[in-house]
Chain A
Amino acid sequence: MPTYRPGPVSLILAVLVALFLLLPLLAVIPVSLTPSRMLAMPTGELSLRHYRSLIEDPRWIQSILLSIRIGIVSSAISTVLALCFSLGVWMFQPRFTATLVGFVLLPMVVPPVVSAVTLYFLLTSISGVSSFFGYDTWLGVAMAHSVMTVPFATVLILVSLSQLDRRIDLAARGLGASVWERATRVIMPNIKFGIVTAALLSFVLSWEEIGVTLFITSVNAITLPRLMWMGLRDNIDPAIAALSVILIIITVLVLAVRSFVVRVRRGSEPL
C-alpha cells in the first residue's frame, strides 16, 4: 500500500530545524574543555579543570545534595496527594469533578511567574511565624515545588486510571471489599506504572525548577539550578558548561534506555 511521505523540501527544512535544536546542546562540549577561567572556546590545548572543580568545590556538591533532598520530599508529597485525589475521583465520580480537577491543574496553567509571586507571598507570610519553614528554607522550597508538580502528577495518574477496567473494581466491591482494600489491593497494583511515572516526573520537575525557586530563596536554600543561575548571571563560570555536559549525557542515556524498553515491551506483545 502506498504511503504519503515527506518530499525533499520537507526533509531539508526538517534537518535545519533539527540542527537548530541540537546546536546549543553540542556547543557546551567545547566550552567545557577550555583551559581558560572564563567562558571561551579552547584554543589549542584542552583541559578537564572545570570537571574537577565540580567535584572539588563544595558548593556544587552541597547544592546537588539539597536538590536531591528537595526533589524526593516534594515528589513524595505531590505523588501521595495526587494519588488520593485521583482515587477519590475515579472510585466515587463525585459531582463537580471537572471543576475540582480544573482547580487542581491551575498551577500548571497559570504563568509560572505569577505562581512564583504567589508562593513568595505564602512563604514570607509563614516566615513571620516559623523560622525553619518559610522563605529561604529547604522545607519551604519542597512545599512550593509540590504545589508546582502536583498538577502533572495528577494528570498522569488520572490518565492511567482512565485506562483501567471498571469491572475489576465492581467485582471487588461486589465481593465485599472495603474502600481501603479496593484502593490498595485492586486499583493501585494496576496503575503501578502510572504512579511511578508520576513520582519520577515530579522529581525531575523539582530537580530543574528555577522560575519559582528564584523568588523563594536567597542565601540558604541554594538548589542546583539556583547555583547555576548565579554563575550565569554574574560572571559566566565554565564549570556550568561541564555540569551541562554531564546533565545532557544523563538525559540522552535515560531517553535511550526508555525508548529501548518501550520497543522491547511492544515487541513482546502480540499485535
Chain B
Amino acid sequence: MRGTLSDRMGAALLMAPLLLFLVLAYAWPFLGVVKWSFTLPTPGLGQYQALITDDLVQSVFIRTLRIAAIVTVVSVAAAYAITVVWVRGTPAQRLIAEFCILVPFWISVLTRAFGWVALLSNRGLINTWLQSIGFISEPLTLVRNEFGVVVGMTHFLIPFAVFPLASAMRSLDERVLLAARGLGSSRMRTFWTVFVPMTRSGIIGSAMIVFVFSLGFFVTPAILGGGRSVMIAELIYLRIFQSPDWGLGAAISVVLVVFVGALMALLFRYVKPKQLV
C-alpha cells in the first residue's frame, strides 16, 4: 500500500494542514511560554528557584496535591457504586443510572459549579432549610473553602471516573461471579474478593484520569473556593493577569506539564489506552 510517490504526496497533502495548524498555533507558542519561563523578568533560572523557595507557591502546590488526592479517592469510590448498577443492574436500573451519569456529563462546568453555589452558599438551599427547621441559627460555611472545592470537583469528575470502570466491569466474565456465589460465597465476600480485584485495571485508570484532571482544574476551584483555596491553575491565572509576573506563571505551567507527562507515562505502563474508554 505504501511507497509510491503519489501515495506519499497524497498523504502529505491531506495531513499537512492540521499538522501545520497545530505546529503554528500550539507547539510554537508553547515553546514561547517555555522561553518566558527562562527570560522574564530577567534571563536565567530565577523563576524556577522562586518556585522552590516561595512559601505561597509551595503551599498552593501542596494544597493542590491534597485536594487532588481526596477528590480522586471520593470520585472513584462514588463512580464505582453507580457503575456497578449501570453495568450489572436490571434494564430499568441501567437506564436510570445512565441518565444520572450522562446528564451531568453534558452540562457545562459553569452551570454545575453554580448549582453547588445555589445549594451551599449562606443563603442557599441547605442553609435556608437547616435554619427553617431550627437545626442551626447561623449559616454554615460550605463554600469559599476547601470543602466546597472538593464537593464541586468530585461532582464534575465522577462521570469521567465512570467510563474506565464501566469498561473494566463489562469485560469481566460473569461466570466467575456466578461460580463464587454457587460455591457458597456471600454477596459481600464475592464483591470484595472476586469482583473488585477483577476490575483493578479500571480502578487504576479511573484514579489516574481523575488525579491528572484535578491537578490542572481551574473553573470549579475558582468559583467554589472564592479566592481562598487557590489551586495551581488559578495561581497561574493570578500570576499572569493580576500581578503581571508572566515568567513565574510560565514556569508553573512548565512544571505542571512535566509532572502530568510523567504521570501519564506511568499510567500507560500499567494500563493500555483502549481500556480507558
A interface list, Cβ under 8 A from B? 2-7, 9-11, 13-14, 16-18, 20-25, 27-28, 30-31, 38-41, 81-82, 84-85, 87-89, 91-95, 100, 103-104, 106-107, 109-122, 125, 143-144, 146-147, 150, 154, 179, 204, 208, 210-211, 214-215, 225, 228-229, 232-233, 236, 240-241, 244, 247-248, 251-252, 254-255, 259
Contacts and interface: CB of A to CB of B under 8 A. Distances in A.
Interface of B: 1-2, 6-8, 10-15, 17-19, 21-22, 25-30, 32-33, 36, 78-79, 81-82, 84-85, 88-90, 93, 96-104, 106-119, 121, 123-125, 128, 155, 158-159, 174, 177-178, 181, 187-188, 191, 212, 215-216, 218-219, 222-223, 232-233, 236-237, 240-241, 249-250, 253, 256-257, 260, 264
Nearest to A117: B253
Q: Is the interface of B mostly helix, strand, loop or mixed?
A: helix
Given A13-B81, A27-B125, A85-B14, A113 B218 contact: yes
B216 A255 contact: no
Among B110, B121, B232, residue most surrounded by chain A Cβ atoms (within 10 Å)? B110
Nearest to A123: B29
Contact of B82 (A17, A225, A236): A17
11 contacts: A5-B89, A13-B81, A17-B79, A25-B107, A87-B14, A94-B2, A103-B27, A121-B32, A122-B26, A147-B22, A232-B117
B85 A20 contact: no
Given A5-B88, A247-B107, A109 B264 contact: yes
Nearest to B176: A4
Given A17-B82, A25-B115, A150 B18 contact: yes
A179 to B, nearest CB: 5
B121 to A, nearest CB: 7
